[in-house]
Structure 1
């Protein structure tokens, strides 16, 4: 019994020891702390507020993190709208920003704290400007895994820093036409979103100052994010590509 207890303690410690280290971006209102979590999940801490993006993976991957003030959900799929995780983390004070399709699947006890955004619509939450951006597969088709208007990418203005979250998308015109993005989180996993070549091509076009490949586990394993970085920096060495291991806890 004692050996089992020691094993569980060590296992729990190893999980959090493996969580990627947080990064910091300076803004006009103090530092923005970026904490990668798992797959498409991350946590921002800024100006006294904690923001969860697509909380997924269960309670343990969020332990020892502050409870969220704001939760952004991009899509109806389970790796974005993870109701089991939402049931186990502390969401008592959280406001939810969601697309309509997500709102329809949310439990009744959370619906009263939702703000529903359609693509291209904006809202504000305690000094944070949030704009919903389209996310979808190409070519557009009714049987696509992600059809236009169902989900949201997001752009957040955090103390003058523009942060883009792609959600599940291909290299759509709405992404390629982005301007003045300071930090971008860009997905790349086949067959659900796009490959590294599409992602690199889009990033080269909209030129974020910093880009994180995230959501890069697909049907055949992990995308080659090192190759993605090479593709981007061969054309534009000024774009900082930050590689983090988003799959350390699983």
Structure 2
């Protein structure tokens, strides 16, 4: 029986020195005696904690006051758009020891960081990071240009202990995404006109079958649609979190 979990989650109220508000938090056993904690900040912004490291993903001051957030050991940025690559947020959480991995356009915007091109991988301590192409197949600006042209944006696959986690960033249901294998957790964006419709998210999820699907970056999209589309998919557990 497929599990559609929309309301069962842990809410952690962190101290004023860490977070300034309540965020939903899910925790996972990584099979190595350690735990992965995922904090759902909002939109495309996430925080992972694992083995004493704090990993910020697409930090954006629109979603949180990063002055109150934990300093980053690693920052992953999927692409250069302001709701994913925000210099103000990055400045507030980076230290001299912070590693920043992103795209060329993001490095150009921030003036710092290491480029990880599509199709390449790197390691941060005991975490493997793969850059997967993220791009539009259908949705374009008025001038016909894709919102996210191929080759300019990343999705990421993180291998943390025995967990493989896909972070979509801004993308549509690309062949590269649908060919993924052995994904435990997937974050798939779902808002128009920039990323995917619920139908596109369902198409991708049914193709590569992550064990847990988190639709995120969903704006004003009716999230009941993706829940309905995935309700009979027994191999995928769909979890909704507060990530508009």
TM-score when normalising by structure 1: 0.83
* Residue equivalent to 1:6: none
State the shift of 1:58 in Å: 5.3
The verdict on how the C-alpha distance between 1:140 and 1:187 changes in structure 2, with shifts beyond 3 A counting, is: closer
SS of 1:105's equivalent in the other structure is helix
Does structure 2 retain, via aligned residues, the 8 Å contact 1:20–1:244?
Answer: no
State the aligned residue count: 223
Q: Choose which of 78, 85, 94 in structure 2 pairs with 1:81.
A: 85
Q: Structure 1: 5+ residue runs without aligned partners?
A: 1-11
Does structure 2 retain, via aligned residues, the 8 Å contact 1:189–1:216?
Answer: yes
More divergent stretch after superposition (175-184 vs 133-142): 133-142
State the shift of 1:64 in Å: 5.0
State the shift of 1:139 in Å: 4.0
More divergent stretch after superposition (143-152 vs 79-88): 79-88
* Residue equivalent to 1:3: none
Higher helix share: 1
State the shift of 1:60 in Å: 4.6
Q: Which has the higher contact order (CA 8 A, sep 6+)?
A: 2
* Residue equivalent to 1:118: 117
Q: Deviations for 1:164-202, whole angstroms, at most 9, x for unmatched residues? A: 001101111011111000000000100001111111111
* Residue equivalent to 1:197: 199
The verdict on how the C-alpha distance between 1:93 and 1:59 changes in structure 2, with shifts beyond 3 A counting, is: farther
SS of 2:153's equivalent in the other structure is coil
* Residue equivalent to 1:226: 224
Does structure 1 retain, via aligned residues, the 8 Å contact 2:133–2:155?
Answer: yes
Q: Distance in 2 between matches of 1:155 and 1:16?
A: 29
SS of 2:200's equivalent in the other structure is helix
State the shift of 1:28 in Å: 2.3
Q: Deviations for 1:180-235, whole angstroms, at most 9, x for unmatched residues? A: 00000000100001111111111011100001111111xxxx1122220220122x
Q: Distance in 2 between matches of 1:226 and 1:121?
A: 36
State the shift of 1:57 in Å: 2.2
The verdict on how the C-alpha distance between 1:223 and 1:60 changes in structure 2, with shifts beyond 3 A counting, is: closer
State the shift of 1:105 in Å: 1.6
Q: Distance in 1 between matches of 2:101 and 2:115?
A: 6
Does structure 1 retain, via aligned residues, the 8 Å contact 2:43–2:63?
Answer: no
4+ runs of 1 displaced by more than 2 Å?
A: 57-66, 87-93, 139-142
Q: Distance in 2 between matches of 1:66 and 1:16?
A: 11
Report which of the two structures shows the higher radius of gyration computed on alpha carbons: 1
SS of 1:104's equivalent in the other structure is helix
Q: Deviations for 1:95-147, whole angstroms, at most 9, x for unmatched residues? A: 0011112112223xxx2xx3211101000010110000001001498711100
Check if 1:22 corresponds to 2:25. yes
The verdict on how the C-alpha distance between 1:60 and 1:203 changes in structure 2, with shifts beyond 3 A counting, is: closer
Does structure 2 retain, via aligned residues, the 8 Å contact 1:59–1:85?
Answer: no
Alignment of 1:1-250 (within 5 A): 16-17=20-21, 19-29=22-32, 30-57=34-61, 60-62=64-66, 65-107=69-111, 111=112, 114-139=113-138, 143-217=145-219, 222-234=220-232, 236-247=233-244
Q: Structure 2: 5+ residue runs without aligned partners?
A: 1-15
* Residue equivalent to 1:4: none
